[in-house]
Structures are given as C-alpha cells and as structure tokens.
Amino acid sequence: MELLAPAGNMDKLKAALLYGADAVYLGGKSFGLRAFSDNFSPEEMEAAIAYAHERGKRVYVTVNIFPHHRDLPGLPAYLRQLRDFHADAVLVADPGIFGMARETVPDLPIHISTQANTTNWAAVKFWYEQGASRVVMAREVGLSDIKEIHDRVPVELEGFVHGAMCISYSGRCLLSNYFTQNRDSNRGQCVQCCRFKYNIVEETRPGEYFPVVEDERGTYIFNSKDLCMLPYLPDMYQAGLHSLKIEGRMKSIHYVATVVKVYRQAMDAYVADPEHFSVRSEWIEELEKISHRPYTRGFAVSRPTEADQVYSHSCNTQTHEFIGVVQEYDAARQMVWVEQRNHFKVGQEVEFLQPRGETVRLRLPRLVTADGTEVEAARHPQERIGIPCLQPLEAQSLMRRRVREK
C-alpha cells in the first residue's frame, strides 16, 4: 500500500519523502484547490518531480478545480507541461477537464479527486471505463462500502487516513462564496468559514444575536474534528485500498514529517506481522504533538454524530512546538548544528524527531553560534546554533519542545 503525503512547497516535499512517504501530491499556481498554499511554479514543479523520481518516489499534480469558461484556454498547455515534466498522474474532479486531459495527454494517468464525490461502485466503474487509473474515495464512504467497490471494480482506490475534515459533502461548499467576494472554495480559495463563530438572529429582531449554546465563547457549529484512522489501519488494508492519503498541503513541515513517520512505522509494522499488529502508544503520542483538532474516525465504520464536531472553539491544540532543523552532526566535536526556527534557550528540555532513528531527548547544556560565541538563547530566525550532544543525530531531524516550555 502506498503512503501519500501533501507537499505545499519544496521543503515539505523533501520532508515527506525523507520521513517515509511513497508519493506526494502537489499543486501548481493554477487549477488546484489550495490557492493559499505556496504551490509550485513550473520551474519548481519540474525540479520537484525530478527530485522525487531520483529517489524512486511518485508525484501527483492536482488539477481538481471546478472550472469556468475563462479557466479552460490555458489548460491544454498546462497539461502538456505536466506530461513533459513526467508527472506520475493528475488529480481531476471535473468531467470537462477529464475529457480534455484524455484528448490532450492520453498517456498521462488520471486520478479522480475526492471532489468528484465518488461514493458507489457504479460511479467508480464509470470512471474506470472512461480511462481513470485511480479513484479517490469521497470521505463519506465507509470501509465496508470501499471493500465492495474493490471487489467489483479492478481499479486502484485511494482513501484519506489523516487530516482536516470538511463540513460539506466531500469539500463541495459555498460558505466561502457567500461570506466573501470572489473566494470560491471550489476553485481553491476557501477561507474555512466552517471554523467561524456563529450566533442566531431572529427574523423580527435584526441586530440581536443569540448564542446557539450558552457559552461565553460562543459556538462553532460547523467545526469538524480531524480525521485519524490509525486505529483502523488493518481495516483499511482489508478494504482493498491501494493508497492512504494524508491531508495537509497548508500544514507545517513539523506536521508533515510527524504524521508521515507515524503512518510509515505503523504500515511497516502491519505488513511485517498482520496477525499481531497493534497501535503503539508512542504513535498516538506523536500525533498529539502536532497542531490538530480532536480526532474522529469520520465515516469509516458508522455515520458521524454530534460528538464529531467541536462546538466550543476553533483553535487547534498541540503538546509540542517546532523550534529547529538539524543541519549536520559534528562527530569529532560531538556537536549538533541546528537552524533556528523558533526561540529556545539553555536549560530547556527538547527532543529531536529523526527521519529514521528513535526520538532523542536532550536538556540544552549550552549554545554556541557559528563563530564560536556562547549564548544563552537562540533569538534570531534561521540562525545556525551548535548544541553539545553525545548521540549522533540525522540531518533534517526536527527539534521541538513542549508548548509550556518557554
């Protein structure tokens, strides 16, 4: 089974592949559903695909907007460009884009995006007969239905395993369009109105706002919990999924690296010994360290209930924060060199999440700048800081600390 990770920019792509993803999905500056992600220029995309292929990994490019007439003239040239860059597939939701891709670049594999709302075997069969090589299941499809689809249609199936959930049906939402001007959520510009605070206004009393729940903070009636399918990993294998997809092109490097590593370890453990597989407590702890909302299993085994929403707040929670990236380890001096990403100081307890090795914990004994000057704190963004460390650390390990450790 493939582990598929988000890549909002080149740094996140490198982190995803380094920490264990088999493939990444990314978007260009146009035609994708994450307009507020960094995304990739043509030059960056060509370099990203080459980088992944050199490491035996795959890259899928999102072309999954619902286009208007004005979007179509530039599409054939863009599709030919993706073919020339050797993209491994494009993700498509709109039948018009699908037909144009089949005509313009017939050899470029097409994956049907979750935006297409594919929820039954007949729809999957339709896309397969049109030439799709993979169908991404709508989030509303349970594992038992996915198993039936797998048994009926000989096409690759992809399902979400972790990340944010949309309040609307597989992402088709008009709240953003309604509350803002020209911010179409189905063309990549959603402002996540489902995370806003809402009150009720009675028709004959305009201007009088009544809280939906008696709480001084108001209520967030559309705010979904985040998906976490780690406890159901064996069921996802048995359902016949070919690829497990992590949501989060707009999330941080810390999020991408942590989630990818957890699922990589879990998937490897399951494949090695399916009969005795169990979810390790340290995997759950890792997923609590990243920024997230409370977790839910979504539609996987039953319909969601009122408990799958977060009514009291829209803020994420996390136990740890990202503060640095390991550049190199100097074995002769037993010194790890870190690029600072957030303030840290002598005496703090930190830990290093390594791409392959175990997590290493360390109380900072002293800090040294690049010119050898000892300092009490690393205060300057992207400053190079040396930290005495007896244990060798892998390059690109992520340094973090507990949120309360200031």
Domain residue extents for the chain: 2-170+226-297, 320-402
CATH architecture of 2-170+226-297: Alpha-Beta Barrel (3.20)
pLDDT band at 307 (very low <50, low <70, confident <90, very high): low
In angstroms, the CA 298 to CA 293 distance is: 13
CA distance linking residue 144 with residue 150, whole number of Å: 10
Architecture per CATH, domain 320-402, reads as Beta Barrel (2.40)
How confident is the model at residue 185, as a pLDDT?
65
Which residue, among 266, 223, 228, has the nearest Cα to 247 in the 3D structure? 228
Structure tokens given for 353:
């999440």
Is residue 381 scored above 70 in pLDDT? Answer: yes
Angle between helices 10-18 and 42-54 (to 10 degrees): 10
pLDDT of residue 289: 94
Q: With 90 as the cut, is the pLDDT of residue 379 above it?
A: yes
Higher pLDDT, 335 or 209: 335
Mean pLDDT of 377-386: 96
Q: Quote the pLDDT of residue 224.
A: 75
Calculate mean pLDDT across residues 74-81. Answer: 96
At residue 391, does pLDDT exceed 70? yes
Of 316 and 23, more confident = 23
Q: Given pLDDT bands bounded at 50, 70 and 90, which one contains residue 35?
A: low
Please tell me what DSSP assigns to residue 24: E
Percent of the chain residues topping a pLDDT of 70: 86
Mean pLDDT of the chain: 89
Q: How confident is the model at residue 214 (pLDDT cuts 50, 70, 90)?
A: very low
Ranking 34-38, 140-144, 152-156, 219-223 by mean pLDDT, the lowest is 34-38
> Alpha helix locations (H) across 105-215?
121-130, 143-152, 175-179
pLDDT exceeds cutoff 50 at 294: yes
The count of C-alpha atoms lying within 13 angstroms of the C-alpha of 258, restricted to the half-sphere facing its C-beta, is 31
Statement: residue 217 has pLDDT above 70 = no
Span 96-152, pLDDT tens digits: 999 999 999 999 999 999 999 999 999 999 999 999 999 999 988 999 999 999 999
